[in-house]
């Protein structure tokens, strides 16, 4: 099988390419990635001499490039996106371009080239947020995005589903909760906290730190995508979740404990994220019953493993905290501390 993976130089896409090339000897992967600030070819350096892997630097909004690549593969696994909520607060235009127009460009190419199998990676954020005691989101929950990021992902999901009904494109969608693990860009809470603690810097906690996320190790997410791609029912959506409900404060506390730091020295409360979603939780009964998927890694095991990875891979993340990211970080941080 020949796969076109979009956004494979990002966090989940890179982990997915490792998973596929390690598991299937006869699979080929073409990775199209624009190499935005979040894309990093170092994450896939071990495959650079493997003839099963090809990297193409390109934009998924570029119809000509996308058309050519789609014509060469059997299936598309679509990760490419602007993915950080805080950045969508500062500026949303790129989110609409890549997440909506980019997805549409891929869908058009998939229809044109014999209705290629299309798997779309989405998020639980499209359903909005939950009160403390509300039941988890399911595949039937109403869409209610509350940030420019989640609104653009919702737009993409609607397009993908519309192409199934209108053009009979063989699609599937997964809506997953918060991932963590290796190759996670250090702007998101877990890798930011780990690397800041390692550098002796403070960890900014938004608001009171009482928001709740449902964390899933990225390898469990990749296994779910693999299953849905091969065995999922065409036209269907699958919720993918981690069975965890810690507060942001308790996640940072766990990381402080693993790294042996002093909470008093590390934690800094800053202004809240505008429109901050309070809680995410997704019910994964459907994928469990239909495809026998469930998370394998516990949160405590996964956090320890992730800390070890960042300790052993300073050469991967240290350069990322300089340059344009530093500028963004300072801008975002300033907006929360003045």
325 binds ligand DAU (CB under 6 A): no
Q: Catalytic residue at 125? A: yes
Q: Which CA distances in Å does 51 have to 25, 33, 46, 55, 329?
A: 11, 18, 12, 11, 38
108 CB contacts (<8 Å, ≥6 apart)? 63
Among 192, 240, 256, 267, binds ligand DAU (CB under 6 A): 192
CB contact at 8 A, 100 and 122: no
Q: State the Cα–Cα distance between residues 281 and 146, nearest whole angstrom.
A: 16
Q: Assess 205 for contact with ligand DAU (CB under 6 A).
A: yes
Out of 149, 238, 280, 310, pick the active-site residue: 149
Of 83, 88, 141, 172, the one binding ligand DAU by CB under 6 A? 83
d(CA 9, CA 238) in angstroms, rounded, equals 24
Choice between 176 and 203, CB closer to ligand NAD: 176
Q: What are phi and psi of 5, to 5 degrees?
A: -100, 125
Closest CB to ligand DAU among residues 49, 338: 338
User: How big is the CA angle at 77 (ends 141 and 70), to the nearest 5 degrees?
Assistant: 130
- Assess 178 for contact with ligand NAD (CB under 6 A): yes
Number of amino acids touching ligand DAU (CB under 6 A): 19
- Minimum CB separation from ligand DAU for residue 205, in Å? 5
214, 280 Cβ separation under 8 angstroms:
yes
User: Catalytic annotation on 124?
Assistant: yes
Residue nearest to ligand NAD (CB): 10
124, 214, 220, 281: which one is catalytic? 124
What are the CA-CA distances from residue 132 to residues 140, 189, 312, 316 (Å)?
20, 20, 37, 37
Question: Considering CB distances under 5 to 8 angstroms, the limit depending on partner class, which of ligand NAD, ligand DAU, none binds residue 59?
Answer: ligand NAD
The listed partner (ligand NAD, ligand DAU, none) that binds 111, CB under 5 to 8 Å by sort, is none
Residue owning tokens 């598309």: 76
Task: Give residues with Cβ within 8 angstroms of 181, minimum separation 6.
Answer: 11, 15, 217, 218, 219, 302, 305, 306, 309
How far is Cα 101 from Cα 25, in angstroms, rounded to an integer? 34
Query: Active site residue: 125, 157, 214, 220, which one?
Result: 125
Q: Which does 38 bind (CB under 5 to 8 A by kind): ligand NAD, ligand DAU, none?
A: ligand NAD
Q: How far is CA 295 from the centre of its chain?
A: 16
Q: By CB under 6 A, is residue 141 in contact with ligand DAU? A: no
Applying CB under 6 A, the residues found at the interface with ligand DAU are: 83-85, 123-125, 177-178, 188-189, 192, 204-206, 211, 213, 248, 273, 280
Return the active site residues: 124-125, 149
Applying CB under 6 A, the residues found at the interface with ligand NAD are: 6-7, 9-13, 32-36, 38-39, 59-61, 79-83, 98, 102, 121, 123, 153, 176, 178-179, 185
């Amino acid at each position: 099988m020949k796969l076109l993976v979009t956004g494979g130089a990002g966090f989940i896409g890179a982990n997915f390419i490792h998973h596929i090339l390690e598991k299937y000897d006869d699979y080929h992967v073409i990775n199209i990635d624009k190499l935005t600030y979040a894309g990093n070819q170092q994450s896939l350096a071990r495959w650079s001499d493997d003839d099963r892997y090809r990297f193409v630097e390109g934009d998924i909004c570029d119809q000509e490039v996308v058309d050519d690549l789609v014509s060469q593969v059997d299936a598309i696994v679509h990760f490419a996106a602007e993915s950080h909520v805080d950045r969508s607060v500062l500026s949303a235009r790129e989110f609409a371009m890549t997440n909506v127009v980019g997805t549409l460009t891929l869908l058009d190419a998939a229809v044109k080239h014999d209705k290629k199998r299309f798997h779309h990676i989405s998020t639980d954020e499209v359903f909005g947020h939950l009160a403390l005691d509300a039941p988890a989101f399911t595949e039937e929950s109403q869409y209610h995005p509350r940030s420019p990021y989640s609104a653009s992902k919702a737009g993409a999901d609607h397009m993908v589903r519309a192409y199934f009904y209108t053009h009979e494109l063989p699609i599937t969608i997964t809506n997953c909760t918060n991932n963590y693990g290796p190759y996670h860009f250090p702007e998101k809470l877990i890798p930011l906290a780990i690397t800041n603690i390692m550098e002796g810097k403070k960890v900014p906690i938004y608001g009171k730190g009482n928001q709740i996320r449902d964390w899933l190790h990225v390898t469990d997410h990749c296994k779910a995508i693999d299953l849905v791609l091969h065995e999922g029912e065409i036209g269907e959506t699958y919720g993918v979740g981690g069975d965890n409900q810690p507060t942001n404060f308790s996640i940072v506390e766990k990381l402080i404990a693993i790294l042996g730091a002093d909470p008093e020295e590390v934690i800094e409360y800053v202004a809240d994220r505008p429109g901050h979603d309070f809680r995410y939780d997704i019910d994964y009964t459907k994928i469990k019953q239909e495809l026998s998927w469930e998370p394998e890694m516990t949160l405590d095991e996964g956090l320890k493993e992730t800390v070890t990875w960042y300790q052993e891979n300073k050469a991967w993340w240290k350069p990322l905290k300089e340059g344009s990211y530093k500028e963004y970080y300072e801008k975002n941080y300033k907006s929360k501390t003045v």
